[in-house]
Amino acid sequence: MNISIIGSGYVGLVTGSCFAELGNRVICADNDSKKIEGLKKGIIPIYEPGLKELVMSNMKKKRLRFSSSVKEAVLESEVIFIAVGTPSLENGEADLTYIENVARNIAQNLNGYRLIVEKSTVPVETGKWVKQTIATYIKRKVKFDIASNPEFLREGQAISDFMHPDRIVIGVESKAARDILVNLYSPLKAPLVITDIKSAELIKHASNSFLATKISFINAISRICEKVGADVVEVAVGLGLDKRIGPSFLNAGLGYGGSCFPKDLDAFVTISEKLGYDFGLLKAARQINQEQKAFFLSKIRDALWILKDKNVGVLGLSFKPNTDDIRNAPAIEIIQALQIEGAKIKAYDPSSMDKAKAVLGKKVKFCKDAYEVCRDSDCLLLVTEWDEFKELDFLRVKKLLKRPLVIDGRNIYDHKRMEKLGFSYVGIGRRR
């Protein structure tokens, strides 16, 4: 099939490359012409394992190309995916201006039947607005369909998630749209959930909100564990072995971040309010998440007393491992809070240093590796659980630190082992 993806970011670029890999001819379009010029030369603007190889091989096979013209993308494809950003407005509502802009742009260039698919995460009823917008701005009398096909990939394992999804959600209102999407996804052999557009939109918001709530739930349990001397890691094992609950998303720690959960929860709370429902459960999940960072900061203060002029080493800046994405990364908020109290920060991350530099500037010393972070630091904070931080040489770490204090925001270290090695070890919700 001839496909175009409008918006070539984390989702658009992965989606486009994977559809090309499945044998389709794909145009990835973006209005960031610098990004497109780079992509044409093989410069991948994000870090995502395996993505560069996939882009290069499909460009070579002439199944994948890049364009800064939405017009070209619309004219040359049967199916158009919208994968632009849907960030939060200040009041928490989803900012749908990029979606609206693309919808108008598509309308002005439609010259025959097209299926227009919402890939971006959007509040329920956005499909209705997209349809109305296209109908309003369309220039020629041509038919079109709208569909919702939310994306569930996770940054860091996006290609594998796209190629082996748990399910594919297809929200449609015509047989033609249904047939096109079923056909397009048929090579993936994944369970299909075929529904109406509003239900598909809701599935995405409900999924992300449920997962975020699960994280906040275990974080709330971690607080109780600390109060009574129980261990949240063991509690999570006991919980997760119940098949009705499952073990994933039960790691207590600094809470969720990233470009999706915080904004999608905000958007879901706001759209629910607009629809006349007060989604108190999600508000509580959001509050627990915020408190978890404050809780972590209080642990640092408890251990170091005065933060002014203390050297604090930070391991991990991206919002989770295997990505360079620092949008809503807990590390950024924690570093900024520590700086306000006068701490001097040294930090290292395997892939997001450039992005972090752009946000944090010169006040942070960015190091070449974890050991340079440790040198002369008064404490070491583990913020993002990259694999390479799990395998540190702790004898070396101990020699480099000014005092052997590790505050582990993701509970990746074995506290008994750390204490045996002579560290003061502080985790989240761990038995002392």
364's tokens: 């942070």
Determine whether 374 is an active site residue: no
**Residue numbers 254-283 binding ligand NAD by CB under 6 A:** 259-260
User: Per rule CB under 6 A, is residue 31 in the interface with ligand NAD?
Assistant: yes
As a whole number of angstroms, the distance between CA 236 and CA 41 comes to 47
267's tokens: 């958007």
**Residue numbers 107-146 binding ligand NAD by CB under 6 A:** 120-121
User: Per rule CB under 6 A, is residue 311 in the interface with ligand NAD?
Assistant: no
Q: Which of 18, 225, 260, 374 is catalytic?
A: 260
Among 4, 5, 7, 321, binds ligand NAD (CB under 6 A): 7
Residue 129: CB minimum distance to ligand NAD, A: 15
Long-range contacts of 132-137 (CB under 8 A, 24+ apart): 133/100, 133/103, 133/104, 133/107, 134/103, 134/104, 134/106, 134/107, 134/110, 135/107, 136/107, 137/103, 137/104, 137/107, 137/108
Going across the sheet that includes 344-348, the strands are: 364-366, 344-348, 311-315, 379-382, 405-408, 424-426
Q: Which is nearer to ligand NAD, 47 or 386 (CB)?
A: 47
Among 84, 353, 381, 401, binds ligand NAD (CB under 6 A): 84
For residue 315, the cross-strand partners are 348, 382
Asked if 107 contacts 81 with a C-beta cutoff of 8 angstroms, the reply is no
Stretch that binds ligand NAD, among 83-91, 168-176, 195-203, 343-351 (CB under 6 A): 83-91
User: Per rule CB under 6 A, is residue 413 in the interface with ligand NAD?
Assistant: no
Q: Which is nearer to ligand NAD, 226 or 325 (CB)?
A: 325
User: Per rule CB under 6 A, is residue 11 in the interface with ligand NAD?
Assistant: yes
As a whole number of angstroms, the distance between CA 430 and CA 230 comes to 7
Residue 261: CB minimum distance to ligand NAD, A: 10
- Enumerate the active-site residues: 260
* Footprint on this chain of ligand NAD (rule: CB under 6 A): 6-12, 29-32, 35, 70, 83-86, 98, 101-102, 120-121, 151, 153, 155, 259-260
